[in-house]
Every structure is written in structure tokens, then in C-alpha cells.
Structure 1
Amino acid sequence: MTDRGAAIVGTGWMGRVHAEALARIGIEVVGVVGSSSDRAAAAGLGAYYCSFEEMLDDPRVRSVHICSPNHLHHAQAMAAMRTGKHVICEKPLALTPAHASELVTAANDFGVVNAVCFINRFYPLCQQAADKIRHGDLGPTRLISGSYLQDWLSKDTDTNWRLDPERGGSLRAVSDIGSHWLDLASFITGQRVESVMADLTTALPDRSDTDDIAGALLRFDQGARGVLTVSQVSPGRKNQLAVEIAGADASLRWDLEHPEQLWIGHRDEPNQLELRGTGDQPIGHALGYPDAFKAFFRAVYDAIEADEPPQQPDYPTFADGFEQVLIADAIAESARLETWVPVQR
């Protein structure tokens, strides 16, 4: 067994989510890194480092969880991989396709386990939905539609570092939450986005450098069409990721705010509401956001235990993070040009 000690970079809410999930699966967090040693000490997450470099020099650290603001991901992930450490990175993987591509190449060159936190794949009913499509239960996929809606930035008094394009990137709603929908839709259907037609809107004028709302038409590589709506300014919608897939024979729909239910639609028979039938917890004991993180980390740390990435990872990797950076870049270009834009792979 290898030493599986982890370090967490970032002491905000996401850093705390990682720390709790790691504790619950038995992975020791040997220390955290904050924007300052005072901030790291005040986070209450246990031992801390006075600098990122001090963490990299600690031989107990086998893996690094990057939960820092977006503009730091590329440099921090690259530095961690250069020291031979495995890296789990929050999305977006990087702010530009060039930087994301560099990280994919480096991960392969260094031979380290690499993962991006598209954790919605790990809800049991999303796994079941993907199995249904692979087994042909829906017939050929025709339409992939849905939305990711939130309200936490709907007031002009709401603020966060993500509103700063220097730290969060020029695409906010698309990169922050739209990427989760796009990754999940591709995971469930097995289809990749081929081209996009997008419109971006800033609802509040003082945020003119980032998007509050996005709408996109999507063309997938196996012929399906898609429609996506993304908003962080929709009052009453706390965290609604909803994806619906219409096949030739049946449809299905999953909603993150009701993660234990999968709607199955039929033409000539009654529709169904399928409840979760798998998972570590007994049926009727709801699985939620922390459980998805635990399932994700279990898969990643199985690979870290082996001390090398598997041939076919069962978790999202840097390559999946790169895919979402490419789609986001196409969305931004489409909105600028007001035309269809292919995803440049």
C-alpha cells in the first residue's frame, strides 16, 4: 500500500467539502494551503502549510486537491505534477484551451493520476441512466435538453471572486455550472458536443465582463441535437441541474434537486418514476452531494493506491476537463460571432 496522504489547496467552501469527503473514506489530509498562513489557520481544517511550496516539499503528500480560484489551477496543477504528486482539480481545469492541453500532456508524461471534479456522474441514478442508454433501452438518442439554474447571484448586492474575470475567467455561468451539465449529458449519452450556437447575457450591468445567463443549441457527434439553458440569476432555483434525453423509443429525465428519482417517459404506456435501486446506503436513505464526492474520491484513490492511472479510468480525468474548456471556448466564440462554431479538438 502506498502512502495516500492528501493536501488541499484552498480553504473556502469547496476545500471544506473535499476535506469532509476524504475523511469519510479514510484518506488523511496532512495539511491545507490557504492564500495566507493566517487564512489557512483560521479555516479550522487542521494542520496547515505556510506556503504552496512547503506543501510540495512534504514527502507525506501523495496527492494534491486543487480547490483554489480558477486562475491558479494551471500553475498549481503543473507544479504538483512536476514533483510526482497525483492531482485532483476543481473545474475549470484551466482558463484557456492551451493551458488545459498542457496539463493533459503533462499528466501523461509524468504518469500521475489526474482527475477533475465532475461529480454528478457519481449519483447512482446517473450511472443507471447511462447504463440504460448503453443497453439501448431508449433507442437512438434524438434530443438532449435541460438546464442548470441557480439564484445565488440574482441580486446586485451579491458578490463573489467568480465575478472577477481575472480570477474566474471571462465565462462564469458556463464554466462554473454549465460545464457540469455538459459533462453529465455526454457521460449519460456517450455523445460529444460537435458544434454550438450560443447566446450570452449579463443581467446586471456591473458584471459586463462575465455571463449571468447562457443559452446554447448543441449538435452532438452521433446526430443528436441539444438545447441548454444556464443561469445564476433565476430566483427560487437553488441548484437545479436537469437533463432530459429523448430517444426513439423512450425518454428519461434526472434532476439534481430530486436525485433519488429518474423519470422514464413512454409513448404507448404509462410513464414511470424509477427510484434508486443501488448504492452503499439502504434504499430510502437518500444519497446526496457529499455521497457523490465520496464515490468520486473512492474511484480516484483506487487508482492512487495502484500509483498509476488506469488504462480506462472510471472517473473524469484532465482529458474530460480539457473537453469542457474546448466547449466553453466554442460557446464564447459563437456568442461573439453570432453563428455556429465547431468545437476545435
Structure 2
Amino acid sequence: MTDTGAAIVGTGLMGRVHAEALARIGVPVVGVVGSSSDRAAASGLGAYYCSFEEMLDDPRVRSVHICSPNHVHHAQAMAAMRAGKHVICEKPLALTPAHASDIVTAANDFGVVNAVCFISRFYPLCQRAARSVRAGDLGSLRLITGSYLQDWLSKDTDTNWRLDPELGGPLRTVSDIGSHWLDLVGFITGQRVESVMADLTTALPERSSTDDIAGILLRFDGGARGVLTLSQVSPGRKNQLAVELSGADASLRWDSENPEQLWTGHRDRPNQLQLRDTGDYPAGHVQGYPDAFKAFFRAVYDAIDADEPPARPDYPTFVDGFEQVLLAEAIAESARLETWVSVQR
């Protein structure tokens, strides 16, 4: 098949990130869809469609990247799969567990490659951390702690469509950045969250409908306990996802603002600071956020080139997206009831 490639739905930041990463791995972008033709034309992303339906009708479009506001993910993913397209969706996969379940079922029924953009898994040292845990280097995991802190909404003049629950959903900080932390921890440890105790806070009263800050206690199915802090109103923290694992024999820590370093802690010998020694560039040539997207898309497009989902995907799928929707539901319920809530699977 010639002259085929991807279409991108959404012309904001994530649409541009997807377009750049696809270009870097040699996947052509056939066209983009915006909220209007004018926005699509002004995006600078190349050829564009006048409507979502026009894009779906184009036989050159093999895969659809959904980078639109959260409230349309369900409808757009379902329509793309019905049209026989492979689908890569930004998170959240959907705003409700029922809609997320619909999407997972449809992906299985249509047999399309499907993925959700939890790209933190693809930092080389996060991959190394996962291998270390699976090899038993840390011993049994006891405590999983960390945070995801940003400052882009710390002023009362800061605004974005994500602040509107009709567009972004009822949870903002938890869904927007907490899902990345929770997915990464699940990937590294191989453990799932069983139950949560959550406290959600809105620091700026005019945003009373969505959360600025979250504090969450976690119980994992492997026996570990967890503590997670989330904030989009922490001045000076631009995009810091930090994870620390405490095992019976050793500890690990990784931080997205220092992605080239993995700290290992020991009781009876010196601690270690390991630098990245694998990846696309030599050590000392920093690999960061765009490179994680590139690695993610490579894995997904290996499956798309085979024209079917692999038996054991090495990338996050709609099942992983569904998991985060279920976790968000439990977190919201816990905050409402002010008690521990089990994750309903």
C-alpha cells in the first residue's frame, strides 16, 4: 500500500507533538482535523480535512491519532474503529467507565491496533527500572511513593479548556497527570491498585468544579502501600513526575525533570546514581519527552505494520486506558465519601 499514513485529530499542543514524533519515525501525516477548517488550516501541520467524517472516508488514512478534548474521545475512537482504522488516543480514554469499556470491547471486536499515550514508560531508565524490579533486585516491594507536580495553573489568570468539566471531565489533576504516574508505577512494579483513599482540593475558588491538588493513599495487590501527591499549582515545578520504590533489599527513584539519572538506595553499601547508557543518543545527549513519544510510536507502528494487535503488546493499550478510568472513578468516589474505596474491575 502506498501513500498511506496517519491522520491527527486536534491541532493543539498534543497534535503538534504527535506530528513531530511521527515525522521522526518516518510515518507520513496524511492530514489533520481541527475544531474548524480555519483552525486546521492555520495549524501549520500540513494538509487538512474539513470534517472528521471526511478524514474517515479517506482510504489513505490507516491510523487515527485522537488529540482532541477529552469529552469527544469516546465518539471519535468508536467511529474510527468502525471505519477500520487503527487508533492511538490521548488520555483519558473516556470520561466514564461505561464508555471506556465500550471502546475496549470495540477494539477487540474490530481487531484494530489500539494504544493510549502513557509515554513515561518509554524513558530508557523507566524501562530499566521495570527490568530491575522484575529481576528481584529490590526484593519484595514495601512502599511506593511519589508525586506529579506542575505550575501551569498556579495563577488565577491561568485558563485552559481542561478547567471546564464539560470538556475535560469531572477530575482534572487526577486524570490529566495522576493517570501518567499511576500507569508508570503499574508498569514498573507489575502491581495494580486495589483500593484508594483520596483527598481532592481546589486551591482557587473560581475552579470549584475540578481539582487542583490531590493527596492519595494506595493499596496494591502485591502488598505494597503507596502515597501520591498531585498538583498543577506548585510554582517552579514545570513537569515533575517522581517515583520512588522501597523494597526489602534496595530502593529506586526516577524523576522526569532529571530523566537521565536513576538512583538506587542501599542499606549496607553506598547508594548509586546510574546514568542512561541505552537509547537513540550517546550518554550525555539528553533524551526527553519527544524521544519517549518517538519510542512509543515505534512500538505501536510495528503492530500497525503487521496490521493486527500483538498477543502481548509492549505498549499501553485501551485496556490500560480503561484501568486509569476505573482508578479515577474510585478516587473521585473516595474523595466524595471520605473513606477507602475499592477499584471496581
| CA–CA separation in structure 1 for the residues paired with 2:283 and 2:164 | 43
Equivalence for 2:120 = 120
Give the CA deviation at 1:2: 7.6
| CA–CA separation in structure 2 for the residues paired with 1:156 and 1:124 | 37
Give the CA deviation at 1:280: 1.8
Equivalence for 1:164 = 164
Equivalence for 2:107 = 107
| CA–CA separation in structure 2 for the residues paired with 1:279 and 1:16 | 23
Give the CA deviation at 1:262: 0.2
| CA–CA separation in structure 1 for the residues paired with 2:283 and 2:277 | 7
| CA–CA separation in structure 2 for the residues paired with 1:311 and 1:283 | 33
Equivalence for 1:26 = 26
Of 278-287 and 307-316, more deviation after overlay is shown by 278-287
- Asked if 1:257 corresponds to 2:257, the answer is yes
Q: Point out where structure 2 has 5 or more consecutive residues left out of the alignment.
A: none
Map 1:219-230 onto structure 2 (within 5 A).
Answer: 219-230=219-230
Equivalence for 2:282 = 282
Tell whether the 8 Å contact from 1:88 to 1:114 is kept in structure 2 after alignment.
yes
| CA–CA separation in structure 2 for the residues paired with 1:2 and 1:108 | 27
For 2:323, give the aligned amino acid. E
Equivalence for 2:334 = 334
SS of the equivalent of 2:61 reads coil
Tell whether the 8 Å contact from 2:4 to 2:30 is kept in structure 1 after alignment.
no
Equivalence for 2:152 = 152
Equivalence for 1:295 = 295
Give the CA deviation at 1:264: 0.3
Equivalence for 1:74 = 74
Q: What percentage of aligned pairs have identical amino acids? A: 86
| CA–CA separation in structure 2 for the residues paired with 1:101 and 1:195 | 20
Give the CA deviation at 1:282: 1.3
SS of the equivalent of 1:88 reads strand
| CA–CA separation in structure 2 for the residues paired with 1:176 and 1:280 | 28
Map 1:181-220 onto structure 2 (within 5 A).
Answer: 181-220=181-220
For 1:208, give the aligned amino acid. S
Q: Point out where structure 1 has 5 or more consecutive residues left out of the alignment.
A: none
Equivalence for 1:243 = 243
Question: CA RMSD for the aligned pairs?
Answer: 0.8
SS of the equivalent of 2:74 reads helix
For 1:211, give the aligned amino acid. D
For 1:108, give the aligned amino acid. N
Q: Give a deviation string over 1:266-298, Cα, whole Å, max 9, x none.
A: 001111100011112112211000100000000
Tell whether the 8 Å contact from 1:145 to 1:227 is kept in structure 2 after alignment.
yes
